[in-house]
A and B are shown apart, each in its own frame.
Chain A
Amino acid sequence: DIQMTQSPSTLSASVGDRVTIACRASQSIRNWLAWYQHKPGKAPRLLMYKASTLESGVPSRFSGSGFGTDFTLTISSLQPDDFAIYYCQQYNTYSWTFGQGTKVEIK
């Protein structure tokens, strides 16, 4: 299985901050990567696929980049609604794997 490692595990930030979350794959996954936002008790929300393609309806303050093994999710100006846990997911192989999550909390 391809291992996905996110960093940091927890990120403390303030409204208006620029936030970057990293996701590293144990082997190349080209750009077959998705990002999700999850709030407790709610259904996860798709943010991005193919590493940098924004899902319809997702605010443009979210952006993604990367290719191969290293990827980032950036929130350009953190909003109150963005405090959540973020997960990356690789779909390069037929056995998908997720990162362990990055919790974005209020500083």
Chain B
Amino acid sequence: QVHLQQWGAGLLKPSETLSLTCAVSGGSVSGYYWTWIRQTPGKGVEWIGEINPHSGYTNYNPSLESRVTISADTSTKQLSLKLNSVAAADTGVYYCARGSGGLRPLYFYGLDVWGQGTTVTVSS
């Protein structure tokens, strides 16, 4: 059974860089898209972006694209999220999740495996 374990700094000051890691166990990272999603008080549930580790393809939410980097290390089966220049509006719970590989939207079958979430607070 695939399991996603997340970790990262939970308390940041404004202008710092959010850095989270999502480790995949019980399955492969290849053949899937890996997504980061967050839930904030201001915007609710928000898609941040995704990566296909096999192709290196990334796709970001246009509203966050200038500050976000999603990467993957297939050798360690870890996904990474970096969000720079954080502000209070970035406070929330961040999730990694797995989506099916293949042409979208025809071969997207939902986000079927999720991490437990990491709470991030941005405060001075």
Please determine whether A101 and B44 come into contact, CB atoms closer than 8 angstroms: yes
Chain A nearest Cβ from B52, distance in angstroms: 13
**CB nearest neighbor in A for B110:** A49
A98 touches B47 (CB 8 A): yes
CA distance A53 to B106 in the complex (A): 13
Assess the A95–B61 pair: CB atoms within 8 A: yes
User: Is the CB of B45 closer than 8 A to any CB of chain A?
Assistant: yes
Given A36-B111, A55-B110, A98-B61 contact (CB < 8 Å): no
Q: Mark A34-75, 1 if CB is under 8 A from B, else 0.
A: 101000011111101110010100000000000000000000
B101 contacts partner chain A, Cβ-Cβ < 8 Å: no
For the complex, give the distance between the alpha carbons of A69 and B114 in Å: 27
Q: Chain B residues in contact with chain A, CB under 8 A?
A: 4, 37, 44-47, 59, 61-62, 95, 97, 104-105, 108-112, 114-117
A-B contact pairs, 15 of them (CB 8 A): A1-B62, A34-B110, A43-B115, A44-B95, A44-B97, A49-B108, A55-B110, A87-B45, A89-B45, A89-B111, A91-B104, A91-B105, A95-B62, A98-B37, A98-B46
